Amino acid sequence: PKTDIVFLKVHKSASSTVMNILFRFGETHNLTFAFPQGGGFQLYYPHHFLARFVEGFSPQSPQRFNILCHHMRFLQPEVQKVVPSSAVYFSILRNPVQLMESSFVYYKGASAFSRVGSLEEFLSQPYRYYNPASGDRHYARNLITFDFGFNPDGDVSPERVQLMLKAIEASFDFVLISEYFDESMVLLKEMLCWDLDSVVSFPLNTRDSSTKSTLPESAVEKLKAWNRLDWEIYTHFNRTFWARMERDIGRERLRREVRALRARQAELARTCLQGAGSVAAKDIKDSSLRPLQHGGARILGYNLKQGLDRGLERTCRRLVTPELQYSSLLYKKQFPPPPP
């Protein structure tokens, strides 16, 4: 199994669920994580990543970390200073239409969104609300492009787009697609030589459907034009994802593996979870399992069954521990506080 991994955690793209998979694998195999300085949750995002943002990094010492997976704005020469040269690089993308709808609710406080009632209103005259000079502009335009380290207000000429796609392909070994999450996990398992249980997950950081809305077709076209760079990245890597699937796994085996993955997830859900699945934060009895609520989104979580034996309780708890709590727990394990 591969143990040196760089995961570019693109916002609002099922990346918290992937991060949970990496946290569990790292914890099980005693791997080290490149944590943000001081145990924070982002690597000085939205600044481009620098090696010195990582706790325990020193230019003098050759120490490398196994897994880099916290939010960052990608800059490969700096990333290479903190992970082994053998590291596998990957990311996950989401359709920019749903991505922006999610961003609008989640980052309602961002300067471009705060004065507007709906995403449609924003898209009808984006430049009335969007300021390319504001420090949080990326939440409102080409968020994928920004997270990969490029300019979200950049040139959309075919030549520039091709250069950007080639740069991403040169840095990343593969890119997953969140709309095909189970298929993506099959590919992840294949590329990292992991077993099935390592890629099993429950969806984390998901929104209650009451805060989701569907855009009319006219707004969708405006959104694609406004996020043209993201749209180009997404459609390109959606194509390469399926090409790689055909080449490395094949349809028949993919169907079998997806079936096995879903069966194992359903089995774990029956074993671990109270009720039929995710619930609102106010209904989560164990406060350590309550996810952070953000913007106008209502983020769901899980209740565990009572009376599980110790080993099973631990397995189940790890599957449903929200990102911030899990990150803090692993940080304290890797950098234990000095005894009083």
DSSP string, 192-212: HT--GGGG-----SPBPGGG-
Report the pLDDT averaged over residues 78-102. Answer: 97
pLDDT of residue 48: 98
Domains in the chain (CATH in brackets) are: 5-334 (3.40.50)
Q: Which residue has the higher pLDDT, 285 or 147?
A: 147
Q: Which two tokens stand for residue 263?
A: 């069966």
Averaged confidence pLDDT in the chain: 95
Q: Quick one: pLDDT at residue 293?
A: 86
Mean pLDDT of 65-71: 98
- pLDDT at position 265 is 96
Mean pLDDT of 221-250: 97
In tens, the pLDDT along 198-221 reads: 999 998 888 777 777 788 999 999
- The pLDDT assigned to 217 comes to 92
Alpha-carbon distances of 13 from 134, 202, 251, 317, rounded to whole Å: 23, 14, 24, 23
Q: Alpha-carbon distance 248 to 239, whole Å?
A: 14
Predicted confidence band at 30 (pLDDT cuts at 50, 70, 90)?
very high
Phi first, then psi: give them for residue 106, nearest 5 degrees. Answer: -70, -40
Please determine, for residue 71, whether its predicted confidence score (pLDDT) is greater than 90.
yes
pLDDT band at 275 (very low <50, low <70, confident <90, very high): confident
165: left (phi over 0), alpha (psi -120 to 50) or beta: alpha
Which residues 6+ apart lie within 8 Å of 179 measured at CB? 94, 95
Q: How confident is the model at residue 33 (pLDDT cuts 50, 70, 90)?
A: very high
- Judge whether residue 232 has pLDDT over 80: yes
- pTM here is 0.95
pLDDT in the model for residue 295: 72
